[in-house]
Structure 1
Amino acid sequence: MNLEKIIASTSHSFLPVYLILLFLISCNQQENQKNNEPSERTKSISSTDDIDLNLPAMYTGTLPCADCPGINYQLILEDDGFTELSQYRDRSPAKFEETGSWSANKDTLTLVGQEDLILKRFLFHKDSLTLLDRNNQKINGDLADMYVLERVGNQESIRKHHQKLSEQGFIFFAAGNEPFWSIKIDSLNLMTYEKPGSTRNLGEVSRSMIENGILFETSADSIQLSIRVQDKYCRDSMSGYLFPETVTAVMQSSQVDTLRGCGLFLEN
């Protein structure tokens, strides 16, 4: 067989194979292009939308519960991780706490717990998060609105206020609403009590340990003040800010007033 016959024979036998390869390459390119396209959920949020965590941030809501009225849920996001707090309504007042790391990819926030276990995924919206199901899809039905967490504002300004108090030498701060009041204790163990239009220095404070907390006591002029600080999370009724301590202050003068609010020990 001469060279021309060999080439002719070979070209005829390879032609179908060549066409098949072209077809497979074309299909693969189309599949890759399809996989690289954003999902329908991602398309609903364009790159120009204002989605900014602006940490620290806190989101709150009431998640559905199979055998209770609901679960009070709070998610606190910070640069170095998250804190998740859950409390079952009409049950024990104790809060269940979970901590870990988080990551954000396009429109999805993922919470990662111990041993790199994925705990939850949320869909970003402006000023809110929506809890996704195990297949990373939105949950529909009559209870769909209960899976939406609203962002609580004023977090950054409140933290800056606490930082300023710390720089001024205060070691403890507590406040409450309706009536509005605040208490500050400085590094010299001196207490200041404030309410709208009035500031009083109440002198040196004594402290003693109580169950699950600390008791501060002081007296000045005709006022006696005792402050019970319990190691239990407290949400401010106006700002929604989550404090680490629950505070009950009993003030005795011409009458007895009980003030309730939230507090924290300031870092110096």
Structure 2
Amino acid sequence: MFKRVIVAMIFTLPLSACSEQKEPIKIAPTEQSEAFKQAHQSNAALDWDGTYTGKLPCADCEGIIYTLTLNSNDTYTLIRHYEGAKNSQDDILKGKILWNDNGSIITLQGMDNEPNQFFVGENTLFKLNEAGERIKGPIADLYMLTKK
């Protein structure tokens, strides 16, 4: 009995190796619809409007206290207090918000001579550098505003 099983395996094994190879199923990449992309942008998916605060680094003071209010009608009010600076008055800026094409970065119009972009996250704004990129390294957390 055992010999018959071995003989049967000897004859069927080579035949199975010669069987036709099946082509793997190829799945075509799908593009996301425009509606899907828009629904997953920060300006559509997140509750971004509100007031954000944080203390950002300052070259000649203890820090700049930012209070940035973003309104749902794409306007903003920014109050900057220079902590520890002599004879300083608060800067109050108002203007419009412009969103990038991805809906994840805002530009504050009216702040043209300095970095004026923020990446919008969940209850957080990250101030971007002059090149429009997130600040990296050990000081990255110093450029973050959190929602009240």
Length-normalised TM-score, structure 2: 0.61
Q: Given the alignment, which residue of 66, 89, 100 partners 1:94?
A: 89
> CA 1:141–1:100 in 2, change beyond 3 Å: closer, same or farther?
same
The CA distance in 1 between the partners of 2:123 and 2:54, in whole Å, is: 13
| SS of residue matched to 2:92 | strand
Contact 1:112 1:118 in 2 (8 A): no
Amino-acid identity (%): 31
> CA 1:69–1:130 in 2, change beyond 3 Å: closer, same or farther?
same
> CA 1:68–1:48 in 2, change beyond 3 Å: closer, same or farther?
closer
Stretches of 4+ aligned residues off by more than 4 angstroms: none
Unaligned runs of 5+ in 1: 1-45, 153-268
The CA distance in 2 between the partners of 1:65 and 1:131, in whole Å, is: 14
One-letter identity of the residue aligned with 2:56: L
Alignment of 1:43-62 (within 5 A): 47=40, 50-53=45-48, 55=49, 57-62=50-55
1:112 maps to 2:109: yes
The CA distance in 1 between the partners of 2:65 and 2:99, in whole Å, is: 24
Q: How far did residue 151 of structure 1 move?
A: 0.6
Alignment of 1:121-136 (within 5 A): 121-136=117-132
| SS of residue matched to 1:68 | coil
> CA 1:118–1:93 in 2, change beyond 3 Å: closer, same or farther?
closer
Q: How far did residue 100 of structure 1 move?
A: 1.0
Unaligned runs of 5+ in 2: 1-38
Per the alignment, residue 176 of structure 1 pairs with none
The superposition leaves residues 60-102 of structure 1 with CA deviations (integer Å, 9 ceiling, x where unpaired) of 0001011222111111112252111111111246211111111
1:84 maps to 2:90: no
Q: How far did residue 111 of structure 1 move?
A: 0.5
| SS of residue matched to 1:145 | helix
1:148 maps to 2:141: no
The number of equivalent residue pairs is 103
Per the alignment, residue 73 of structure 1 pairs with 66
Q: How far did residue 48 of structure 1 move?
A: 7.5
Larger strand fraction of residues:
1
One-letter identity of the residue aligned with 1:136: G
Length-normalised TM-score, structure 1: 0.35
* Higher RCO by CA contacts (8 Å cutoff, separation 6 or greater): 2
One-letter identity of the residue aligned with 1:69: E
Alpha-carbon RMSD: 2.3
The superposition leaves residues 231-253 of structure 1 with CA deviations (integer Å, 9 ceiling, x where unpaired) of xxxxxxxxxxxxxxxxxxxxxxx
Q: How far did residue 118 of structure 1 move?
A: 7.6
Contact 1:111 1:118 in 2 (8 A): no
One-letter identity of the residue aligned with 2:61: C
| SS of residue matched to 1:122 | strand
